[in-house]
Amino acid sequence: MSKGNSEYEFYVGEGTHLEGASLDIHGTARIDGTFVGKISVKHLIVGENGSVTGDISGETALVEGVIEDTLTLSGKLEVTAKGKIRGKIHYGELETVVGAKLVGEISTDWDGDQTVSQPAVSDRLEAFSASLEEDSDTSDEDL
């Protein structure tokens, strides 16, 4: 790791196992340990020994370690030679090298147009749930 930890809004160090969190980070998150949960982040870095499992959404990501489950990015996904991603992957741009592994359902917008006005498939349920919570409860009446 070349940068200091203070450069990241969120950091999980090597040897740390974090499970069950749901994070919304307006900045950069770096994972060098293990994270299981949900992350919404601007830029995600998964270090060589890092492992992230869950529902991940954001703008860009650099993957040197392992990601499993759902990764939805509006911008660039960079996967290095030791990087491995398995699951449902959606990206805006992709940069990768020999050795990187991407397994699963991989998609991007055919025309490269990112003006998507509705959430990506993987986020639709959570966006829908959030929109239900925003409104007051209009309970049905008993007969």
Site residues, another protein (CB under 8 A): 20, 22, 54-55, 69-70, 87-88, 118, 121-126, 128-129, 131-132, 135, 137-143
Q: Which is nearer to another protein, 98 or 132 (CB)?
A: 132
The dihedrals phi and psi of 127, each to the nearest 5 degrees, come to: -65, -40
Which of 115/138 has CB closer to another protein?
A: 138
The candidate with the shortest Cα–Cα distance to 68, out of 104, 121, 118, is 104
Of all helices (H) and strands (E), which one includes residue 133? helix 121-134
Contact 33, 17 (CB under 8 A): yes
In the complex with another protein, which residue's Cβ is closer, 11 or 66?
Answer: 66
The rounded distance, in Å, linking the Cα atoms of 60 and 63 is 10
Smallest distance from another protein to CB 112, Å: 22
CB of 85 to another protein, least distance (A): 13
